[in-house]
């Protein structure tokens, strides 16, 4: 069985979404793939399956597999720890491959189990990454049920309604700082701030309001306004303590070529996302300060199961 899933980038609402606030993300044209075969023992890319190295794969097996041991091969075009959702993509591809052994796979089921895998492995997560790489295109998460509703995910008293959202063909660059940061640790850091400080809770709510304000400009292709909201979201994430001197430098370096730029994903290192008409200039500016830039496109394709027999 073979399955694949795309990368993603969060345009608005990371961190706040963990507390039930809205977020918007899009799938990207980079993919990861898994192939699974029945075997005598569990192996991943030729090595024994170990929690330390293969946490997402192991949890996917625990949740979705009752059969014999498996030989698993993974491949990914998505740079790891880059904020482009490599772990969500592998989790969803793995869940889809495992479920497809027993019949047709439903989007909603893959999204739910993919989320459970990420939650188990990271200790805490929202369904933004896993739902986006399951569905493809654009995804809006909100507590409130809206137009274009896809499915609902619940965990420990928090629930999220997942919706399709129409997003134009934005010209984006993902800038990777080269600094790997743990999503789990960054989420835990924000959680401490959120629990003890009412100002942090206000910032989280403000991120939620700003995310909802971005829906109209996205639908109307109002790049100036989208960029302005991205800049504001970046400042709020900085206040939450998830920026890094290198991310600040990167956002500064692309200002003159972009509508807006912000941290994307967990922060603390990782990546920024830039909305621009000048992708090549942005990539050069990032390279000049020692970061990497990836020209990315929005993908309409979510998870897919191939070679099904």
Residue numbers annotated as active site = 129
Alpha helices (H) along 25-123 = 51-64, 86-100, 107-122
Per-residue contact string for residues 42-81; x = within reach of ligand PMV by CB under 6 A: ----------------------------------------
Residue 238 found at the interface with ligand PMV (CB under 6 A): no
Residue 36 found at the interface with ligand PMV (CB under 6 A): no
Number of residues that bind ligand PMV (CB under 6 A): 15
Give the Cα separation of 253 and 7 in Å (integer).
25
Q: How far is CA 80 from the centre of its chain?
A: 12
Give the Cα separation of 60 and 115 in Å (integer).
10
Q: At its nearest, how many Å lie between ligand PMV and the CB of residue 149?
A: 20
Residue 18 found at the interface with ligand PMV (CB under 6 A): yes
> Which of 85, 260 has the CB closer to ligand PMV?
85
Residue 183 found at the interface with ligand PMV (CB under 6 A): yes
Cα dihedral across residues 235, 273, 23, 270: positive or negative: negative
The closest alpha carbon to 237, from 295, 172, 189, 196, belongs to: 189
Residue 274 found at the interface with ligand PMV (CB under 6 A): no
Residue 14 found at the interface with ligand PMV (CB under 6 A): yes
Cα dihedral across residues 284, 285, 286, 289: positive or negative: positive
Residue 208 found at the interface with ligand PMV (CB under 6 A): no
Instruction: Give me 161's structure tokens.
Output: 């309604």
Of 57-65, 125-133, 170-178, 193-201, the window that binds ligand PMV (rule: CB under 6 A) is: 125-133
Q: Which residues contact 78 (CB under 8 A, 6 or more apart)?
A: 7, 30, 31, 32, 84, 85, 86, 89
Q: At its nearest, how many Å lie between ligand PMV and the CB of residue 81?
A: 8
CB-based burial label for 48 (10 Å; 0-12, 13-18, 19+): exposed
Q: At its nearest, how many Å lie between ligand PMV and the CB of residue 227?
A: 21
Give the Cα separation of 263 and 242 in Å (integer).
8
Residue 83 found at the interface with ligand PMV (CB under 6 A): yes
By beta carbon distance, the residue nearest ligand PMV is: 265
Residues that bind ligand PMV in the complex, under the rule CB under 6 A: 14-15, 17-18, 83, 85, 125-126, 128-129, 183, 187, 265-266, 270
């Amino acid at each position: 069985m073979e399955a694949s899933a795309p990368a993603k980038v969060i345009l608005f609402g990371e961190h706040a979404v963990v507390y039930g606030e809205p977020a918007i993300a899009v799938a990207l044209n980079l993919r990861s793939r898994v192939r699974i075969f029945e075997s005598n023992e569990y192996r991943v890319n030729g090595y024994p399956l170990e929690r330390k190295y293969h946490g997402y794969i192991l949890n996917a097996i625990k949740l979705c597999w009752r059969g014999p041991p498996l030989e698993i091969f993974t491949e990914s075009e998505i740079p790891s720890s880059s904020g482009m959702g490599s772990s969500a993509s592998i989790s969803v591809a793995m869940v889809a491959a495992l479920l497809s052994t027993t019949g047709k796979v439903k989007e909603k089921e893959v999204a739910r189990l993919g989320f459970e895998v990420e939650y188990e492995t990271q200790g805490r997560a929202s369904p933004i990454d896993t739902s986006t790489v399951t569905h493809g295109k654009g995804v809006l998460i909100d507590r409130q049920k809206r137009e274009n509703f896809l499915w609902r995910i619940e965990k420990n008293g928090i629930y999220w309604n997942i919706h399709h959202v129409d997003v134009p063909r934005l010209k984006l660059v993902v800038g990777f700082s080269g600094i790997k940061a743990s999503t789990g640790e960054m989420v835990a850091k924000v959680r401490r701030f959120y629990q003890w400080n009412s100002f942090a809770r206000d910032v989280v709510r403000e991120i939620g309001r700003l995310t909802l304000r971005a829906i109209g400009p996205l639908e109307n292709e109002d790049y100036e306004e989208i960029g302005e909201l991205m800049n504001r979201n970046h400042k709020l994430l900085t206040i939450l303590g998830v920026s890094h001197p290198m991310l600040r430098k990167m956002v500064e370096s692309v200002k003159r070529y972009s509508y807006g730029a912000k941290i994307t994903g967990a922060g603390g290192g990782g990546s920024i996302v830039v909305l621009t008409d000048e992708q090549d200039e942005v990539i050069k500016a990032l390279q000049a300060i020692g970061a990497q830039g990836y020209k990315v496109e929005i993908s309409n394709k979510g998870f897919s199961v191939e070679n099904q027999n």
